[in-house]
């Protein structure tokens, strides 16, 4: 029996509606509408598409679009000054520096200038450290979106074998921490992993974020596993992921499509983080943000 498709577009729409309601309530009770500053440096066409989608979603949720665009040859000091200005601006609740940035810039230094409470991507050392310690903070959007997909489908995590392919700061590492927080037994794979397929075949939950089109085929999937494909690649006029979706769907019980899986969730969780950040900056925090350690 072919796998059930996990509909990220539909689940993201629900999250976005919840966020829009939260924004409306904040404003109706005398708060300021959240502002999201997407910072794009240069003109990589794929990045332009992502940033445009994020800005549209931001406006649709009732937030203020505070987009900034810098030329690809901007110097480090000018880029840093822009981040500092956004950091000091009370109309800016969240700052997202779109990655990758041009190679001549020191991206770690730029990220370090984003205040932790405006770090809606969860990429600062402070927020990554809080996550690693299992403490509340702003968490990276893509892994948080994956958790929301798993929860919507009631995928059991406690004691489950979870394998994450990829160990980036943006996706793989925070993904592993979030799964650990939910008491999965987590294995992280990377480019030096010996016999990737063998390790992946252990997984009840397999999350693939390697950036290699079609890396995971049916030989790497345990029967009835849940497979989450984070990868995104433009091929001709279509999109594909890191998983051979058609073949893996014959083995898995649930799988995310590309497009329409994880991608829309990333944007939805970015809006959720921006609302959370705005509430906290306006003294509206009600309890710990973004989850606590499950018990
Ligand atoms: N849908 C969405 O919302 C998002 C999608 N993406 C997509 O997800 C993918 C991953 O993104 P990102 O984490 O930023 O990518 P990175 O390139 O930063 O990291 C890729 C990771 O995969 C590992 N890897 C590479 N090749 C292999 C291999 N053959 N076997 C096992 N592991 C391998 C790398 O290992 P090593 O560390 O050893 O180099 C690295 O840890 C990309 O396709 C990206 O476009 C990213 C963010 C959001
Ligand atoms: N600082 C930073 N934070 C990020 O979160 C970040 C980033 N940099 N750099 C690039 C990656 C990639 N990423 C995606 C977001 C949405 C879709 C998305 O909406 N995808 C749609 C399709 C969109 C399309 O048609 O191109 C889908 O999968 O259905 C995809 C990928 C966020 N990233
Ligand atoms: Mg990358």
Of the residues 117, 119, 121, 244, only one is catalytic, namely: 121
Q: How confident is the model at residue 236 (pLDDT cuts 50, 70, 90)?
A: confident
Examine the pLDDT at 288 and tell me if it is beyond 90.
no
Cα 284 to Cα 88, 101, 273, 281: the distances in Å are: 20, 33, 14, 7
Residue 94 tokens, joined: 């969240």
9 Cβ closer than 6 Å to some ligand 1 atom: no
State pTM to two decimals: 0.97
How remote is the CA of residue 64 from the centroid of ligand 3, in Å? 27
Within this chain, do residues 238 and 164 fall inside the same structural domain, yes or no? yes
Query: What pLDDT, on a 0 to 100 scale, did the predictor assign at position 292?
Result: 44
Say yes or no: CB of residue 171 within 6 Å of ligand 1: yes
Residue ending a domain, choose from 83, 116, 149: 116
% pLDDT > 70, the chain: 97
In a domain, 280, yes or no: no
Please tell me the predicted confidence (pLDDT) of residue 287. 52
Q: Which pair of tokens denotes residue 114?
A: 């984003």
Using omega within 30 degrees of 0 as the cis cutoff, is the peptide bond preceding 259 cis? Answer: yes
Residue 15 CB burial class (10 angstroms; 0-12, 13-18, ≥19): buried
Residue 156: pLDDT above 50? yes
- Which residue range(s) make up the domain with 157? 141-263
Regarding whether 175 and 257 lie in a shared domain, the answer is yes
Q: Taking 50 as the threshold, does the pLDDT of residue 295 lie above it? A: no
Is 127 among the domain residues?
no
| Contact present, 138 and 122 (Cβ < 8 Å) | yes
Tokens of 125: 């050392």
| Choice between 236 and 80, residue whose per-residue pLDDT is larger | 80
Q: Is 259 in the pocket of ligand 2 (CB under 6 A)?
A: yes
> What is the pLDDT at residue 294?
44
| Average pLDDT across the chain, whole number | 96
Residues 150 and 245 in one domain: yes
Are 207 and 230 within 8 A, CB to CB? yes
pLDDT, one tens digit per residue, over 131-154 is 999 999 999 999 999 999 999 999
Per DSSP, the three-state class of 205 is strand
């Amino acid at each position: 029996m072919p796998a059930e498709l996990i509909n990220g577009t539909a689940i993201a729409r629900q999250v976005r509606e919840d966020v829009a309601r939260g924004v409306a309530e904040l404003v109706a009770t005398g708060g300021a509408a959240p502002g999201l500053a997407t910072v794009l440096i240069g003109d990589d066409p794929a990045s332009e598409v992502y940033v445009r989608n994020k800005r549209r979603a931001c406006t649709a949720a009732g937030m203020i679009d505070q987009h900034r665009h810098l030329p690809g040859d901007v110097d480090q000091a000018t880029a840093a000054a822009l981040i500092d200005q956004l950091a000091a601006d009370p109309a800016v609740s969240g700052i997202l520096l779109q990655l990758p940035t041009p190679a001549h810039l020191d991206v770690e230094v730029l990220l370090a200038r984003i205040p932790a409470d405006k770090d809606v991507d969860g990429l600062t050392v402070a927020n990554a450290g809080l996550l690693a310690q299992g403490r509340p903070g702003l968490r990276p959007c893509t892994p948080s979106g994956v958790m929301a997909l798993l929860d919507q489908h009631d995928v059991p995590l406690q004691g489950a074998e979870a394998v994450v392919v990829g160990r980036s700061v943006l996706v793989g590492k925070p993904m592993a921490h979030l799964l650990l927080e939910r008491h999965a037994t987590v294995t992280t794979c990377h480019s030096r992993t010996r016999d990737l397929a063998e390790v992946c075949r252990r997984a009840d939950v397999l999350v693939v974020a390697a950036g290699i089109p079609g890396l995971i085929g049916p030989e790497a999937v345990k029967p009835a596993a849940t497979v989450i494909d984070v990868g995104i690649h433009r091929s001709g006029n279509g999109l594909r992921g890191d998983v051979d979706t058609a073949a893996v769907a014959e083995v898995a019980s649930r799988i995310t499509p590309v497009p329409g899986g994880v991608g829309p969730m990333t944007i939805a969780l970015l809006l959720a983080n921006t609302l959370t950040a705005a509430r906290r900056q306006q003294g509206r925090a009600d309890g710990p943000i973004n989850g606590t350690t499950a018990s």
